[in-house]
Structure 1
Amino acid sequence: MNFKKSLLGLILLGFGLLTPTHLVKATTTDSVQPQTLNVLSYNIYMRPKFLFWDGQDVRSRLLPNKIQGYDVIIFQEAFDNSVRNNLLNSLKSEYPYQSKILGSDRGIKQDGGVIIVSKWPIEAEDQRLFGNVCAAEDCLADKGVLYAQINKQEQLYHLFGTHAQAGRNRRTTREQQFRIIKSFIDSKQIPAEQPVIIGGDFNVNQFDRSAYESMKTILDVTQPPSTGLQYTSDGQINDLKKGNNQSYLDYIFYSNNHLRPVKAVNEVLLIRADKEWKKTGETNQQDLSDHYPVYGRFEFGVCNCWLKYGIIS
């Protein structure tokens, strides 16, 4: 592990600025409560092994024990086919319902890397690709937006997962992609009394207020209050992240045009291996991805439903 990053991490842990556990805890009744949904969005940094060696096999074996207890997980960058298949097989006992991968491999071009796994039945799924709305090396990935309709004990949830254009200077392309996502959501004609949740790596830094507010306006979404780590991509403490840049790029939103939660939160989690693992020819590592995941907890109460229908003014 990089000594400076390791030392900084220990200092921050000592001051309580990093926490290895949930600040927001799922209750023991969440698993049997249809009106509550626990979602994890995780860019897992599983690039194709024929081009990159980032310890994908080791990390994919360590991940399953760290991502238990959710209703739904939205993965991004699950690019490598063999690594992804091994990971999905390891998750099947807890997340038996698994969507198709976004996009497809074509020659040297990769699929979109987004996949949704669920504890509850996926009753419908679909996807829309960004196609030529991309820039630079991102055009080598078949990116877009993935949809899954999930039935948690007769409560329907509509999940959309995406991984938007990378690059600080690619705002125009990203916003074109966000319009594609919004159009896709609208095309589903989801009833206003049902929840719509959109998660993923949006590659928009929350601290770039202009780009952040524009993204939310285009998608017509709300980000719940955020807790946990301050950044989802943090080069100062993450030993898989190159450089020292810090940014907040990953979100789980809810739609403003559909059933809104009575209570919701996003929490950036510090998920790491219990012990250091080693990439071939490099130093020891403990992080499991170059991003930290976002956990979203959403409660949809009965009173909120009444408000939707105007029964309570």
Structure 2
Amino acid sequence: MYFPFSSKNLIFELEEINSTRRIVLPKLETDLNVLSYNLFLYPREDIYFGFWKEKERAEFLGKSKFIKNQDIIVLGRAFDTNARNTLLNNLNLEYPDQTEVIGKTKYGWDQTLGDFRQQINNGGIVILSKWPIQEKIQYIFKNHGCGNDTLYNKGFAYVKIKKENQIIHIVGTDTQSEDSACSDLGVNARTDQLIEIKKFIDSKRISNKEIVLIAGSLNVNKSNQFEYKNMLNILEVNEPNYAGIHFTWDTQKNKIAAYNNVYYSWNRTSNYGEYIFVSKNHFQLPVWQNLAYDPISPTTWKRENGYTSYEFSDHFPVYGFIYADSSTPTKSGHRRKYDQVSLIAKYTGKAVQVDHNRPDGWLKADGTAEEKGTEFTKFNLLQEYDPDSDTFCMLGGRVRVESSQYLNYFWTWWLRGGAGNYAYYPKFDDGSKLLEMIIIRQGCLEDESLVVFKDFDTFWKYYYFLAVWETGSWKDYIYLWYTNAQPNSYFIVKLNTLPERDWSKDLIYR
């Protein structure tokens, strides 16, 4: 027999067993897990972003481990119908209660509020739950924003969920993104949309005995203290304890973000804009944490032009939870064995490096001892024919060599006249497809392995070996030149053996 009892913001039950009563604390205080993820799944009709193998990425995402064992998942920018359905079907067994995507139809919702527009793209937000959804409302922002966002019915999904004996309310959203087509990069539209969210929550008159969460791409950069503090004040939410990676949109780590940043000449800096907040005005958890994480797909995918990647999205997800435990990530999920590899010219002992001032400058084997530790002397190796995105045994064969400093810039050689003919440089999204690495002692590529490279000369129709030029004004430049490997053709491989950053000290454990 149970008697409900409440004190301040905590809910208790008095359990009567053999005429003896004891207080039973709600289980939720030690167990609530939420994931928010901006998926970057645009429809093919979108001329800017609709060509990133949406269905394949959704397929791999639905089978991934990091998306499992959550109570609630908020998905953003799940615009593409085929990709979205693929993902939701794969997740249906663990998360059987799912909303429709907002902005597509009024069918399947208890209410549709705001300014729903017909014959326009959906708003991309879907909420998935392990627990029964008791109420679901879609709200389309009255301020439709600016730039590319105006093409979509953006807003938020609200759901009321019952987990055991606790009611959880969650608003999942994707507000106005930063857009150069907006006069103020979208700040005013975003602020108006945050106010719309808060007014809706107030209108629900939710009991202070129930949890209220606001999750999604709020698109306010945490490092912009003025706008960040303004967001917290408007929404009346607590600042969570932050852990994990530094950015949720990272042009130095995420290949899709880096690609778009260059391709569209955005020149934006990395930022943190994904959050899972707890309302100040409702049930208060003992602690609340946000952990930004950077998973990669274990299987690569390939665009029509041959571009190969292992990113799930251009954004990284955020976990929201109370206490950390043994399953909580404490290190990056993005690091690969053959990322940030150094190549030391055996003949001179100097490191191969990219130009410090321009991403497509010439490659030179002139890196000093001081420069050997910089990103300019680091390269990411990938064998595009191998579907394993993080192989632990790379063998000899064709290889894509990417600058760690300038993502999506791949090794290739010049043949447009001048003394630079056959000299190597990193080219954006257009590396040599026939570059081969030969491991001298065969077997797996390991730290201190000795290698040579050869490539196919498409003009003379013959394979030649790469070598470091020894004299003159082109000394230390790397050329495609010899029919046989020369003493200056050999490179010593140095794998990245630096320990990964461990953020366990930033987490709060029970």
SS at match of 1:252: strand
Does structure 1 residue 131 correspond to structure 2 residue 142?
Answer: yes
Spell out, residue by residue over 1:193-217, the C-alpha distance to the aligned partner (whole angstroms, 9 max, x if none).
1110100001110000000000111
Q: Which residue of 2 aligns with 1:57?
A: 55
* CA separation of 1:65 and 1:196: change in aligned 2, threshold 3 A: same
Query: Quick one: which of 280, 294, 316 aligns to 1:292?
Result: 316
Query: Quick one: which of 276, 284, 294 aligns to 2:300?
Result: 276
Query: Quick one: which of 150, 154, 159 aligns to 1:143?
Result: 154
Deviation at 1:112, TM superposition (A): 0.7
Q: How many residues align?
A: 268
Paired amino acid for 1:41: S
Given that residues 62 and 88 in structure 2 are in contact (C-alpha distance below 8 angstroms), is that contact kept between their aligned partners in structure 1?
A: no
Given that residues 236 and 279 in structure 2 are in contact (C-alpha distance below 8 angstroms), is that contact kept between their aligned partners in structure 1?
A: yes
Structure 2, gaps ≥5 residues long: 1-25, 106-116, 180-184, 262-267, 324-510
Paired amino acid for 1:227: A
- What is the alpha-carbon distance in structure 1 between the residues aligned to residue 85 and residue 165 of structure 2? 29
Query: Quick one: which of 181, 186, 190 aligns to 1:170?
Result: 186
Deviation at 1:149, TM superposition (A): 0.6
Deviation at 1:125, TM superposition (A): 0.8
- What is the alpha-carbon distance in structure 1 between the residues aligned to residue 242 and residue 304 of structure 2? 36
- What is the alpha-carbon distance in structure 1 between the residues aligned to residue 77 and residue 306 of structure 2? 22
Deviation at 1:227, TM superposition (A): 0.7
Q: Percent identity?
A: 35
Given that residues 99 and 126 in structure 2 are in contact (C-alpha distance below 8 angstroms), is that contact kept between their aligned partners in structure 1?
A: yes
Deviation at 1:138, TM superposition (A): 0.9
Query: Quick one: which of 237, 240, 264 aligns to 1:221?
Result: 237
Quick one: higher RCO (CA 8 Å, sep 6+), 1 or 2? 1
Q: Which residue of 2 aligns with 1:256?
A: 280
Paired amino acid for 2:163: K
Paired amino acid for 1:126: I
Q: Which residue of 1 aligns with 2:220?
A: 204
Given that residues 108 and 140 in structure 1 are in contact (C-alpha distance below 8 angstroms), is that contact kept between their aligned partners in structure 2?
A: no
* CA separation of 1:259 and 1:107: change in aligned 2, threshold 3 A: closer
Deviation at 1:279, TM superposition (A): 1.8
Paired amino acid for 1:188: K
* C-alpha RMSD of matched pairs (Å): 1.7
Q: Which residue of 1 aligns with 2:91?
A: 91
Does structure 1 residue 118 correspond to structure 2 residue 129?
Answer: yes
Of 184-193 and 133-142, the range deviating more from structure 2: 133-142
Paired amino acid for 2:125: V
SS at match of 2:69: coil
Q: Could you say which structure has the higher helix fraction?
A: 1
Of 186-195 and 32-41, the range deviating more from structure 2: 32-41
- What is the alpha-carbon distance in structure 2 between the residues aligned to residue 164 and residue 298 of structure 1? 25
Paired amino acid for 2:286: V
Deviation at 1:107, TM superposition (A): 7.1
- What is the alpha-carbon distance in structure 1 between the residues aligned to residue 44 and residue 242 of structure 2? 34
Larger radius of gyration: 2
SS at match of 1:234: coil
SS at match of 1:89: helix
Q: Which ranges of 4 or more aligned residues in structure 1 deviate by more than 4 Å? A: 105-108
- What is the alpha-carbon distance in structure 1 between the residues aligned to residue 37 and residue 173 of structure 2? 11
Deviation at 1:245, TM superposition (A): 2.6
Q: Which residue of 2 aligns with 1:12?
A: none
Does structure 1 residue 189 correspond to structure 2 residue 195?
Answer: no
Deviation at 1:33, TM superposition (A): 4.2
TM-score, with structure 2 as normaliser: 0.51
Spell out, residue by residue over 1:257-299, the C-alpha distance to the aligned partner (whole angstroms, 9 max, x if none).
0011102110001111113321221421011000000000036
- What is the alpha-carbon distance in structure 1 between the residues aligned to residue 284 and residue 290 of structure 2? 15
Deviation at 1:34, TM superposition (A): 3.6
SS at match of 1:247: coil
- What is the alpha-carbon distance in structure 2 between the residues aligned to residue 207 and residue 154 of structure 1? 38
Q: Which residue of 2 aligns with 1:25?
A: none
Paired amino acid for 1:226: Y
Deviation at 1:166, TM superposition (A): 1.1
Given that residues 133 and 176 in structure 1 are in contact (C-alpha distance below 8 angstroms), is that contact kept between their aligned partners in structure 2?
A: no
- What is the alpha-carbon distance in structure 2 between the residues aligned to residue 108 and residue 287 of structure 1? 31
Does structure 1 residue 44 correspond to structure 2 residue 39?
Answer: yes
